[in-house]
Structure 1
Amino acid sequence: MKKIGIVGATGSIGSQAIDVIKEYLDDFEVVFLSAYKNEEKLLNFKLQVNAKYAVLTGKQPENDEILFGEQELLRIIDNEEVDIVLSAAVGFSGLIPTYHSIKRGIDVALANKESLVTAGLILTKLASKTGCKIIPVDSEHSAIFQSMLGHQTEDLEKIILTASGGPFRNRPVDSLEFVEIEEALKHPNWKMGKKITVDSATMMNKGLELIEARFLFDVPVEKLDVVIHPESIVHSMVLFCDGSYIAQLGYPDMKIPIAYALSYPKRLNLKTKRIDFYRLSKLTFDKPDFTKYPCLKIAFDILKNDKSSYFIALNGANEIAVESFLNRNIKFIDIAKIIEEVLNLIEPKDVNSIEEIVEFDRYVREKTYYIIKKRFS
């Protein structure tokens, strides 16, 4: 029986993980669950899976069965017997719990891509030192992870991330100025939280995934590519030096990569939808349009520089810009413009410790808020 903990249990990924665990209670023992503010949902989950601890990090809980504060969460990670932690918090907030898990030598099922975007080199080196595994939960990185099993890294020619193209794939570029929040939150294939859904609409999500892949699979930008694949059946693929492509296919259902990461190296017998190849009419692939998706171009550009200050700045500026869009303070097309303006202020350099990353992220967010206030207030 695997002892697991979930950081970000009440979000989209965490909630689907709870659904998986409830079906396989004989396979998992839940040591802890954490959430930011959703106390009622957290308490319900604690009871459903009989979790030993539940921690609320964003506000003082009303129920005495729930602990309070990030320090309580870190204390549990640092001291309790845990086999794997699902890192599913939204954004930069997932970095510190992920770091503590890896430092302790606990395997991490990583859904919080921002951890590797902002601290990729530190976390991968630490994982190598402590002997723990980082198992990706993103459907794309899970596909790459599975496609690479049994193959040599030196034989890898290219990693190809697939992208649905989001809700605006067929929308004219000159109409993006008029995008409403409700439109940006209507993803054609996946059900996700608001922030990641907006990231999918701008394709910044794919940009962050490129950076994550750079560290997760230790490859340069020259070996990374993105194709638009509207059907979201092929979740990503790898090309080897002999011309062989290996891909992982499946219907768009996050329970598949979640369950695979939690149960690895086993597979659970999930009751998910199967592909009917007799009815699957077509699979299409297109080149991304950087005019329509400037956020993706920005990510490719900073990857060529390969400096952590740019990765941290990209992530922090994007989080604040998306927050501002969701609060109706800026337009959809302003997200990329703000990120670019912030990056122009950043000196390309390596940021070499978690403490420095936290401080630098704070600096970036202050600059982003200042730019938004100056331009849009």
Structure 2
Amino acid sequence: MRRISILGATGSIGTSTLDLIERAPDDFAVVALTANRDVSALAAAAIRTRARFAAVADAACLPALREALAGTGIEAGGGVEAVCEAARMPADWTMSAIVGCAGLGPTLAAIEGGRTVVIANKEPLVSAGEVILAAAARSGATLLPADSEHNAIFQCMDSARPERVRRIILTASGGPFRDWSREAMAAVTPEQAVAHPNWSMGAKISIDSATLMNKGLELIEAARLFPVAAHAIEVIVHRQSVIHSMVEYVDGSILAQLGPSDMRVPIAHTLAWPDRMETPMAPLDFAAIGRFDFEAPDPDRFPALRLAREALDAGGARPAILNAANEIAVAAFLERRIGFLEIAAIVEDTLASYDPPAPHDVDAVLAIDGEARRNAAARVKDCVA
């Protein structure tokens, strides 16, 4: 029986992971679950799975969590340190699915335990890739990607012989505005932006998909995870979201991983790895799919992808700044304080205004992240004014 902890258990990735675990109760034992502040969902999940520990990042929610768990024997914790405590609890497999850079500390805490850590929150690898990879090397932790694209690459990649790989091809759905003009996108509402045509995801990642920043972050993450040069990672828009990514080899062969647009498929791969497990997915109906379409992403309509490529090429603190500024801009858009097109503009302005030395530890990453957030917030205020 594999001992499981889930950091971010009430989000879309967390609930998909719980669904798979609860379908195979004899194979998994839940050790710890965390959430930001969704007490009711966290408590319900902890009770259903008989978890040992549940923690909310918002310490103000701890009394409500204790009340919800009263009489169950499940220990409750509150605050960031409690979430890190959950990450440190002995487990064989940890899902790291806390949205944004808030997941950095708990992700590192899990990695330092030397277990298998599944990375679903790409921001820690983007902002602190060198720190994360160094920690994994020290502890002997195994990092597995849960993003559908990176999981596809992992399944197709010969990591032991990277010299055989010519390029990695990341596929992108193109988001809900792939056919819209920039003029039309200027009037986009948050409701329109979160309505992804192919995937059911949380608000932040849905907005990132709509701007293509999500694909930019995935570009940086792929460069961290796989032993290929940055210029050998390309992005192609594939509207059907059936091919989740591809790896091309030097002989011209291309291996692709295909599957339904459901995160339970890559999550199941990581849960059972190096084995396989059953999922409730129906087989792909290729006749119904009918066709695969591909097109190059448009850097003029979707500048976020260009900004991410530039941040990756520049290295140092640039990816951390990119990520922090984007989180602030996306939050401002969801609050209707700025327009859709201003998300990428704020990120670009923040990158242009702030260029600290490369971070070498968590404290330096967090300092860069904090300053970038303050700079981006100032630009949001300018837009509102």
- Please report the TM-score for the alignment, with normalisation by the length of structure 1: 0.97
For the 8 Å contact 2:33–2:86, the answer to whether it is kept is: no
**Equivalent position SS for 1:283:** coil
Residue 375 of structure 1: how far off its partner (Å): 2.9
Counterpart amino acid of 1:265? P
Write out aligned runs for 1:226-241 (5 A): 226-241=235-250
Q: Deviations over 1:244-282 (max 9, x none)?
A: 100100110100011111221111111202112233310
Gaps of 5+ in 1: none
For the 8 Å contact 1:85–1:101, the answer to whether it is kept is: yes
Look up the match of 1:41: 41
Write out aligned runs for 1:1-377 (5 A): 1-58=1-58, 59-61=60-62, 62-64=64-66, 65=69, 66-78=76-88, 80-149=89-158, 152-307=161-316, 309-347=317-355, 349-377=357-385
Which moves more between the two structures, 348-357 or 149-158? 149-158
Which moves more between the two structures, 67-76 or 82-91? 67-76
For the 8 Å contact 2:54–2:86, the answer to whether it is kept is: no
**Equivalent position SS for 1:262:** helix
Counterpart amino acid of 1:10? T
**Equivalent position SS for 1:158:** strand
Counterpart amino acid of 1:243? G
Counterpart amino acid of 2:293? T
Q: C-alpha distance in 1, partners of 2:346/2:65?
A: 41
**Equivalent position SS for 2:287:** coil
**Equivalent position SS for 1:290:** coil
Between the aligned residues of both structures, percent identity stands at: 39
Return closer, same or farther for 1:347/1:150 CA change in 2, 3 Å cut-off: closer
Q: C-alpha distance in 1, partners of 2:161/2:261?
A: 28
Q: C-alpha distance in 2, partners of 1:268/1:141?
A: 19
**Equivalent position SS for 1:344:** helix
- Please report the TM-score for the alignment, with normalisation by the length of structure 2: 0.95
Counterpart amino acid of 1:228? V
Q: C-alpha distance in 2, partners of 1:75/1:319?
A: 25
Counterpart amino acid of 1:17? T
For the 8 Å contact 2:329–2:343, the answer to whether it is kept is: yes
Residue 340 of structure 1: how far off its partner (Å): 0.3
For the 8 Å contact 1:113–1:212, the answer to whether it is kept is: yes
Residue 108 of structure 1: how far off its partner (Å): 0.6
Residue 304 of structure 1: how far off its partner (Å): 1.6
**Equivalent position SS for 2:198:** coil
Residue 220 of structure 1: how far off its partner (Å): 2.4
Q: C-alpha distance in 2, partners of 1:157/1:150?
A: 12
Residue 149 of structure 1: how far off its partner (Å): 4.7
Q: Deviations over 1:79-135 (max 9, x none)?
A: x32111100011111110111111121211110100100111111122122211110
Aligned length: 375
Residue 374 of structure 1: how far off its partner (Å): 2.3
Residue 175 of structure 1: how far off its partner (Å): 1.2
Residue 75 of structure 1: how far off its partner (Å): 2.6
Q: Deviations over 1:31-63 (max 9, x none)?
A: 000001000000000011111111111133214
Q: C-alpha distance in 2, partners of 1:369/1:37?
A: 23
Gaps of 5+ in 2: 70-75
Q: C-alpha distance in 2, partners of 1:292/1:203?
A: 10
Residue 173 of structure 1: how far off its partner (Å): 2.4
Residue 300 of structure 1: how far off its partner (Å): 1.1
